[in-house]
Structure 1
Amino acid sequence: MIDHVPSAPPASRTYGPRSRLARTRAVTVALAVAAFALFILTMMVGSFYVPAWDVITSAFHLRDEPSVDFVVRDLRLPTATAAVAVGVALGVSGLLFQKLLGNPLASPDFVGISAGASMFAVTAIVLFGAGSTMISASALAGALTSAFIIYVLAWRDGISGYRFILIGIAVSQFMMSIIGYIVARAELYEARQAMTWLVGTVGQAGSTELRTLLGALLVLVPAALVLQRPLRVLELGDDTAKALGARVEISRLALIAVSIVLIGFATAVAGPIMFVALIAGPIAQRIVGHSGGGIVAAGLVGSIIVLGADLVAHHVVPVALPTGVITGIIGAPYLIWLLATVNREGRGG
C-alpha cells in the first residue's frame, strides 16, 4: 500500500509576505506611471496643443525651443507640479489621520485643520489685502493653530479618536462661522477673492510657495515612511502598544505633526481642496492591501485625483471651474456612502 503524501502548502501561504510586497511594488509603480501620464497630459492640452514628446523634452530641459518652452515651462508646468505636490500632501496626510485615529471619517477636511487655514487666509485677504505669499503663510499658521487647539481640547490622559474628531468638527464649524462673518462684511472684490480661494484650485500660488511645498514633501514624506512602523503598533491600541514598548504619545504627536504640516502646506498652495484627503487613503488601501502600508500609494492616488480633477475642471466642462468643485462632486457621494456603511457596521460611535 502506498502511503499518502501530503500536498505542498499553497504558494500564497508559503510566500505570503513576499507576494504582498510584490503586489505593493507593482501597484505603486502602476500608480506612479498613471500620475506621470496625467502630469504630461495636463501640459499637453489647452488653447495651444503640445505633443507629448515636446512636453517631456521641454519640462525636463532636454531641448530648448522658445515657443514650446514658454507654454510648457512658464504657463503649464507650475500648475501641473502644484497639482502633483498638493495631491501627494493631501493623500499622505489623510491616510495618516485615518490610520492614527482608527476612523475612515478622520480627515483634515472635517476636523478643523482646513477650516483653521481657511479662516486665517480669508482674514489676511479681507482685512489686510494680502498677496499670495502672505495668504499662504497665514493659511499654514491657521492650520497649525487650529491643530494645537484641537489637540489641547481633546487631550484626556491621551487622545481618543472619536473625541479628537468630534472636537475637530466643532472647531471647524466655529471657524467656518467666523469666515462667513468676515466675508459678509467684506467689499465685493475682496469677498470674491476670498470665495475663490475657499473653493480651492491649483495654480493660484506663486513659485515661492510651490518650492516651499516641494521642500516640505522631500522632508515629510520620508518622515512619514519612517513613522510607518510606530503607526502600525499604534493601530493595535494604546495598551498593546505600551506593552510592546512603544512611546505612544510621542509617536502619536509626531504623526499628527507630520500630517498637519502636510495639510497646512497643501492648503497654503491651493486652498482647501475638499475630499482628496478623505478618499485617497481608502482607495490606496483597497488596491495595495491593508498590510502593504500604502503611504506612497496614497500620495500617488491623491496626485491622480487632483490632476484628473484639474483636467476636468479646465478642459471637459463647458466653463472653467476651480479644482475643488470637481473634487467636491466626486467626494460628496463617497462621503454619503461611507456614512451609511459605517452606520451599518456599527462603527459610527
Structure 2
Amino acid sequence: MAAVAIVGWLAAHPRRGIEPRAVVLQGLALAIFAGAATEALILRMGDGTAGMAITWLSGTLNGVGWPEVARGAWLLLLMLPLLLAGRALDRLELGEDLARALGVRVALLRAGLGLVAAIVAAGAVALCGPMAFVALVAEPVGRLMSYGRPSPVAAMLAGAAFVTLADTLARAIAPAALLPTGLYTALIGAPVLILAVRRMARG
C-alpha cells in the first residue's frame, strides 16, 4: 500500500492528474529500489532461509493446499468492484475529458480501483510469491478475448489459465526438480506478451 501511495504521489500532475507514463517510470524506479533492498536482506540470511526466500521470490505453488485457498478466499469478495467496473473502464478508454462528460468520476475511479487491485495483488503474492508476466499477459490477452475492449473478467480468466498452464508444465516437465511456477510464467509470458502487443499495434 505504501508503494502504491508513493507512486501515485510521484506520478500526479497538478492539472492533468495521474499520468500513465509517469506511473510506469516511477513504478519501475521504485521496483528497482525495493528489489535492491530485498537482495540486501537475503544476503544477511542463512543459507537455508535464503534458499526458501529465493524460491518464493520466483513464484511457486509448491506446498500450496486447501488451507492457503481458504485464506485467499476473501480476495474473491474484493474482486467484485473490479469485475463490475467494465463499463466505467470502457468510458475511460475514450479519454478523461469525455469520460467526465459521461459522468465518470475519473480520479475517484482510478484511486478506488487502484487500491482494490493493489490489495488483491498483494494478497495473491503473499500466498504464492510474485509470478513474472502474469499481469502483463492477462491484460492484452483479455483484450483480445473481448475484441479490444477492457474486460476485467476476461483478464482474470486469462491470468488464471496462464498460471494453471505454467504450474501444469512445471509438474509435468521436471516433476523431480519441481521448479518454481514463476519460471515457466516468465518463459511463456515474454513471447506471448510480444505477440499480443504486436497484434494490438497492427489492429
Residue 163 of structure 1 corresponds to 22
1:189 aligns with 2:48: yes
1:244 aligns with 2:102: yes
Deviations 1:279-331 (A, max 9, x none): 1221122133124x532222122111111111110122363211111111112
Q: Of the candidates 91, 98, 101, which is equivalent to residue 233 of structure 1?
A: 91
1:304 aligns with 2:161: yes
Residue 214 of structure 1 corresponds to 73
Taking CA–CA contacts closer than 8 Å with sequence separation of 6 or more, which of the two structures ends up with the larger relative contact order?
Answer: 1
Q: Of the candidates 283, 292, 296, which is equivalent to residue 141 of structure 2?
A: 283
Helix, strand or coil at the partner of 1:320: coil
Percent sequence identity is 35
Residue 78 of structure 1 corresponds to none
Counterparts of 2:31 and 2:66, CA distance in 1: 29
What TM-score, normalized to structure 2?
0.87
Q: 1:255 to 1:150 in 2, by over 3 A?
A: same
- Give the aligned length: 197
Counterpart contact for 1:280–1:302, Cα < 8 Å: yes
1:269 aligns with 2:127: yes
1:147 aligns with 2:32: no
Counterpart contact for 2:140–2:196, Cα < 8 Å: no
Gaps of 5+ in 2: none
Counterparts of 1:190 and 1:303, CA distance in 2: 29
Counterparts of 1:307 and 1:163, CA distance in 2: 33
Structure 1 residue 240: Cα displacement: 1.5
Counterparts of 2:84 and 2:168, CA distance in 1: 33
Counterparts of 1:177 and 1:272, CA distance in 2: 16
Q: What letter corresponds to residue 30 of structure 2 in structure 1?
A: V
**Rg: which structure is higher?**
1
Q: What letter corresponds to residue 159 of structure 2 in structure 1?
A: G
Counterparts of 2:137 and 2:148, CA distance in 1: 15
Counterparts of 2:131 and 2:72, CA distance in 1: 15
Map 1:1-349; keep pairs closer than 5 Å. Answer: 144-157=1-14, 158-205=17-64, 209-217=68-76, 219-291=77-149, 293-317=150-174, 319-335=177-193, 341=198
Q: What letter corresponds to residue 177 of structure 1 in structure 2?
A: A
What is the RMSD of the two structures over their aligned residues, measured on CA atoms? Answer: 2.2
Counterparts of 1:320 and 1:314, CA distance in 2: 6
Counterpart contact for 1:154–1:163, Cα < 8 Å: yes
Q: Which runs of 4+ in 1 moved over 3 A?
A: 203-209, 334-339
Q: 1:162 to 1:338 in 2, by over 3 A?
A: farther
Counterpart contact for 2:138–2:159, Cα < 8 Å: yes
Counterparts of 1:204 and 1:305, CA distance in 2: 19
Counterparts of 2:145 and 2:65, CA distance in 1: 35
Counterparts of 2:194 and 2:151, CA distance in 1: 24
What TM-score, normalized to structure 1?
0.52
Counterparts of 2:195 and 2:83, CA distance in 1: 30
Q: What letter corresponds to residue 150 of structure 1 in structure 2?
A: V
Counterpart contact for 2:62–2:180, Cα < 8 Å: no
Counterparts of 2:39 and 2:188, CA distance in 1: 25
Residue 20 of structure 1 corresponds to none
Q: What letter corresponds to residue 27 of structure 2 in structure 1?
A: G
Q: What letter corresponds to residue 164 of structure 1 in structure 2?
A: V
Counterparts of 1:335 and 1:231, CA distance in 2: 22
